[in-house]
Amino acid sequence: MYGLLTGAIVTDPKKQLDIAPRLLEWFDVNGRKGLPWQRDTTPYRVWVSEIMLQQTQVATVIPYFERFMSRFPTVQALAHASEDAVLTLWTGLGYYSRARNLHKTAQEVVHNFNGEFPDDLAQLKQLAGIGPSTAGAIASIAMAMRAPILDGNVKRVLARYHRVAGWPGQTTTANVLWSLAERHTPHVRVADYTQAIMDLGATLCTRSQPSCDRCPLNLSCLAYRRGDTQQFPGKKPKKNLPVKAVTFIIARNGQGAIWLEKRPSKGIWGGLWSFPEVQDADTIGDWCRLVAGAELHRVELAPILRHTFSHYHLDIQPAYVVIADSAANGISLQDSDNQQAGWISARALQTKGLPAPVVKLIKALEPTAG
Ligand code: SF4
Residue nearest to ligand 1 atom 8, measured at CA: 205
By C-alpha distance, which of 190, 165, 177 is closest to 132? 177
Residue nearest to ligand 1 atom 2, measured at CA: 212
By C-alpha distance, which of 194, 201, 231 is closest to 216? 201
Predicted local confidence at residue 298, as pLDDT: 84
Say if 13-231 and 243-368 have the same CATH topology: no
Predicted local confidence at residue 347, as pLDDT: 87
Predicted local confidence at residue 65, as pLDDT: 98
Predicted local confidence at residue 5, as pLDDT: 37
Is 83 tagged catalytic? no
Total length of the chain: 370
Pocket mutation for ligand 1, best pick of 9, 177, 215 (most atoms within 8 Å of C-beta): 215
Predicted local confidence at residue 263, as pLDDT: 92
Question: 223: CA distance to ligand 1 center in Å?
Answer: 7
pTM over 0.85: no
Q: Contact at 8 Å (CB) between 248 and 305?
A: no
Closest atom of ligand 1 to CA, residue 218: 1
| Domain 243-368 falls under CATH 3.90.79.10 | yes
Pocket mutation for ligand 1, best pick of 4, 5, 23, 221 (most atoms within 8 Å of C-beta): 221
**Tens of each residue's pLDDT in the chain, 370 residues:** 333 333 455 556 666 678 999 999 999 999 988 999 999 999 999 999 999 998 888 999 999 999 999 999 999 999 999 999 999 999 989 888 999 999 999 999 999 999 999 999 999 999 999 999 999 999 999 999 999 999 999 999 999 999 999 999 999 999 999 999 999 999 999 999 999 999 999 999 999 999 999 999 999 999 999 999 999 999 998 888 999 999 999 988 878 889 999 998 888 898 899 999 988 888 888 888 887 777 888 888 999 999 998 889 999 999 998 776 544 444 444 444 445 888 888 888 888 899 999 999 998 885 544 3
Question: 79: CA distance to ligand 1 center in Å?
Answer: 41
Catalytic residue among 50, 66, 300, 366: 50
Beta-carbon contacts of 159 under 8 Å, excluding residues fewer than 6 positions away, are 168, 173, 177, 223, 232, 233, 234
Closest atom of ligand 1 to CA, residue 211: 7
Question: 228: CA distance to ligand 1 center in Å?
Answer: 10
Closest atom of ligand 1 to CA, residue 200: 7
Domain ranges of the chain: 13-231, 243-368
Rounded CA-CA distance 261/269 in Å is: 12
> What residue ranges line ligand 1, CB within 6 angstroms?
157, 160-161, 204-205, 210, 212, 215, 217-218, 221, 223-224, 229
Question: 351: CA distance to ligand 1 center in Å?
Answer: 45
Predicted local confidence at residue 4, as pLDDT: 34
Q: Tell me if residue 49 falls in helix, strand or coil.
A: helix
Rounded CA-CA distance 331/239 in Å is: 46
Closest atom of ligand 1 to CA, residue 204: 7
Beta-carbon contacts of 17 under 8 Å, excluding residues fewer than 6 positions away, are 180, 183, 184
Provide the 8-state DSSP code for 270: T
Question: 158: CA distance to ligand 1 center in Å?
Answer: 9
Query: CATH top-level class for 13-231?
Result: mainly alpha
